[in-house]
């Protein structure tokens, strides 16, 4: 693998997210707020989290995924991004999500109604210090139709508050419905070695030229809590072959699912950030992929 002083997110290749070119290896901001963002615990050190953001930009990361509901007792991801990176680099694309809602104490409340989405968009604008949002994903919370919610976001796009729209936690029928309302530049769904059931949406996005952005590609079943289970022997074997870490193998496998796939691994650790970005240069062999693909076929 590459040494830390030669690592670059550009090694993963690029994709047009709407009209914005981004490196396919990005950064998820959820873990910057620490383990207490969604669970009890003490948030990680603020200075270290800020260093992750600064180092990410230095390494060529120009796609950061965040949300106003990413916050802990001590900080919010959006506020940290603003205070650390503003004035923002011209090539930086910040993607955020709306739909879910949390109270001031962190408790989840009822998802936003269509008429409340403008308030959520404006909250992200204030926290990030922007006059428009590059990409806003509508995070679905089990609703059968996206029409009213996506229509409300389309109006905000027409008003200039949002540049591009996407979906999160969506099914193919949601995507088809949304496309009758406004262009969709990305779909952000759970997908990875341990979650192959997202392959249908992966293929749908490829056919339509839409970015597919998997989350929990490293964490797997641990989801927001991070990695909680022992790694598969197959992943460890491939990692040893390349002198890489299991996390790098998972990211390389994810990126290898198509040129339209964007990875957004999250971390609050600068060293882990470097390792994650370096995964963009890892090229798996056909035999590697055969071994790793078998994990998905046997996943529960």
Active site residues: 70
Distance from CA of residue 203 to its chain's centroid? Answer: 18
Judged on CB neighbours under 10 Å (0-12, 13-18, 19+), 171 is middle
Residue at token pair 């609703």: 143
Task: Give every CB contact of residue 9 below 8 A, 6+ residues apart in sequence.
Answer: 23, 24, 25, 26, 56, 59, 60, 61, 62, 277, 280
d(CA 284, CA 256): 8
134 touches 98 (CB < 8 A): no
Measured CA to CA, the distance from residue 23 to residue 10 in angstroms comes to 5
H helices present in the chain, as ranges? 46-58, 77-85, 117-128, 147-158, 172-179, 199-208, 233-242, 246-255, 270-278, 286-298
- Report the C-alpha gap between 13 and 132 in whole angstroms: 26
Q: Name which of 97, 104, 195 is nearest 140 in CA terms.
A: 97
Radius of gyration from C-alpha coordinates of the chain: 18
* CA–CA distance, 26 with 33 (Å, rounded to integer): 17
Q: Taking a C-beta distance cutoff of 8 angstroms, is the pair 114, 98 a contact?
A: no
SS3 category, 247: helix
């Amino acid at each position: 693998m590459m040494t830390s002083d030669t690592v670059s997110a550009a090694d993963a290749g690029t994709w047009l997210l709407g009209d914005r070119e981004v490196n396919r290896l990005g950064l998820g901001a959820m873990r910057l707020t620490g383990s207490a963002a969604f669970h009890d615990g003490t948030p990680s050190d603020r200075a270290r989290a800020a260093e992750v953001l600064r180092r990410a930009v230095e390494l060529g990361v120009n796609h950061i995924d965040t949300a106003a509901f990413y916050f802990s007792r001590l900080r919010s991801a959006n506020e940290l991004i603003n205070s650390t990176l503003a004035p923002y680099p011209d090539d930086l694309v910040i993607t955020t999500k709306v739909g879910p809602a949390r109270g001031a104490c962190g408790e989840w409340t009822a998802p936003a109604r269509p008429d409340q989405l403008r308030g959520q968009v404006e909250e992200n604008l204030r926290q990030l210090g922007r006059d428009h949002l590059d990409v806003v994903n509508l995070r679905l919370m089990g609703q059968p139709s996206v029409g009213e919610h996506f229509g409300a976001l389309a109006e905000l796009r027409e008003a200039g508050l949002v540049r591009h729209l996407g979906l999160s936690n969506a099914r193919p029928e949601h995507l088809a419905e949304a496309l009758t309302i406004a262009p969709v530049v990305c779909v952000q769904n759970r997908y990875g070695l341990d979650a192959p059931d997202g392959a249908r949406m992966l293929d749908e996005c490829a056919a339509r030229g839409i970015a597919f952005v998997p989350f929990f590609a490293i964490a797997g079943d641990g989801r927001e809590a991070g990695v909680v289970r022992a790694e598969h022997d197959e992943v460890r074997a491939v990692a040893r072959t390349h002198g890489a870490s299991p996390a790098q193998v998972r990211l390389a496998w994810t990126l290898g699912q198509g040129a339209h796939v964007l990875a957004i691994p999250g971390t609050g650790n600068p060293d882990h950030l470097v390792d994650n970005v370096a995964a963009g240069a890892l090229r798996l062999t056909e035999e590697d992929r055969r071994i790793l693909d078998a994990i998905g076929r046997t996943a529960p």
